[in-house]
Amino acid sequence: MAADLEEKTDRYERLLAEALAEATIAPPKETPLRESAAEYHEMANSYLEDGRHFREQGDDVNALAAFSYGHAWLDAGARIGLFDVPTDGHLFTV
**Domains of the chain, earliest start first:** 2-84 (1.20.1270.90)
Residue 39: how many CB atoms within 10 A of its CB? 13
Q: What is the mean pLDDT of residues 35-58?
A: 97
Q: At what angle do helices 2-22 and 60-79 cross, to 10 degrees?
A: 30
Rounded to two decimals, what is the model's pTM?
0.91
Least confident of 6-10, 16-20, 53-57, 88-92: 88-92
Confidence at residue 93, expressed as pLDDT on a 0 to 100 scale: 86
Name the pLDDT band for 94 (thresholds 50, 70, 90). confident
Q: How many Å apart are CA 75 and CA 40, to the nearest integer?
A: 10
Confidence at residue 3, expressed as pLDDT on a 0 to 100 scale: 75
Name the pLDDT band for 1 (thresholds 50, 70, 90). low
